[in-house]
Chains A and B, each alone.
Chain A
Amino acid sequence: MKRYLCLSGAVLFLTVAGCASLTGTQISSINRYSRLLEKNAEMPNAVITGLVSVKYDIELLNTGTVSPDQANEKLWNSYKGKETSLEKAGRADAGLKLLGEYAVALARLSSKGLSEDIKKPSEKLGISADTLVACYNRAVGSRVPPGIGLLLSKGTIFIGRSLIRNAQADALREYAQEGDTLVALVTEVLKRQMDSLILGQWIPALKADLKTKQEDLLNNLNPDGDYTAYYATQVNKEVATIIARIDNLEKLTRDAVRSVGIIRRAHRELLANVLERKKIGVVLSETVNLYQATKDLYDTWHVVTRFKNSE
């Protein structure tokens, strides 16, 4: 009987320990990457809504150069255009939110808490078992060795954690592999669109539009008027503020495009890392780069929002 017990224990130990769970560093890397990915997914929409607001403000610049009736119409047209665009931007956000959803799900699955939950009740079991052994020894006068409870507690924690960690590792490997192709596709589409639409079309068009409106305003000022110089200065000040906003949003877009490239590379590196069966603790360089790029992105984002709020 004793032999069978020993044999079953050994088989269970080898089965549990034989599966390669991920190291703490590997799990932390996935968790860190997922949180960075979630933060990055918010940025393209922030750029789009920022540029829609800039266009609206550009159009309001020269409202005074048309008749009062037309100025009214112009204002409401611009307002309607802005609202429609923002509503569509909300829909553009949906695709990006899926990237965020994937990141959140991956972060939850890579949480250390999954296997940590077992520790407390298992320790309590150990203490109870030791107390029971002590009671039994006292009552029967036997010499069952003390400390068996500690062994039981450690065994339960080991087996429980190993089972969960192995299942967690298998699931993370499978999903990271599946996610890699999808992340590559999403980041490629996102990068291409931000490059061609925002950097290639909108920003140059908005700058040209702003210049046109500025010239229009200045051309419509009475050169012999009493306050022409004052008005011209005010117009130019406002134009300068809008130029700075466009520049900040352009920088934010470039930072976001750079981040998107790193998201892709970091995912590939992460996948290669979790597929490795070696239990080595490594800090993934691309995840470190992504951390830095996300920090830069948020620094720029804070400049954009601070600038907007200080107007």
Chain B
Amino acid sequence: MKKEQDAAYKDIVAAMQEVNSRRTFRNIGMPEREDLDRAVLLLEELSWKIMSADIATFAERMGAAAKDLKALAGKIVKSYKELRAVAAAIRKAATAAGRAADIAGKII
């Protein structure tokens, strides 16, 4: 599949080179020129399709390779939140104990 795509991309550029070599100042306005111009347009359209397909393949492969990273990132964030909650609980306990000591000090 990959080799076919490689060949197709190179073929497009080679075909464009071939068509463009026939499009010169001398045949501007001649009937065969319009067909050659049309061929250029079609080849360019095809080259965009190949480029888009390449990018889609790139995206697909990256997505497949990285999908487990999403789950891992989720687990890490969960652990982070749990640790924050533990830190907050210790902080609250220390603050509450400090306040209790303050109140006791005032009563004494």
Contacts and interface: CB of A to CB of B under 8 A. Distances in A.
A135 B34 CA distance: 103
A66 B83 CA distance: 66
Interface string A88-118: 1101111110110110111011000011011
Contact of A212 (B2, B9, B17): B17
Contacts of A156: 90, 94
A160 B90 contact: yes
Contacts of B75: 175
A250 to B, nearest CB: 17
B43 to A, nearest CB: 10
Contacts of B1: none
8 contacts: A88-B55, A95-B62, A106-B76, A108-B80, A175-B79, A197-B57, A209-B16, A212-B13
Contacts of A189: 61-62, 65
Interface of A: 48, 52, 55, 59, 65-67, 70, 73-74, 77-78, 80-82, 84-85, 88-89, 91-96, 98-99, 101-102, 104-106, 108-109, 114-115, 117-118, 121-122, 124-125, 127-129, 131-132, 134-136, 138-139, 156, 160, 163-164, 167-168, 171, 175, 178-179, 182-183, 185-186, 188-190, 193, 196-197, 200-202, 205, 208-209, 212-213, 215-216, 219-223
A249 to B, nearest CB: 14
A105 B73 contact: yes
Contacts of B80: 105, 108-109, 114
A205 B9 CA distance: 8
Contacts of B66: 95-96, 98-99, 182, 186
Residue of B16, B21, B64, B80 ringed by the most chain A CB atoms within 10 A: B80
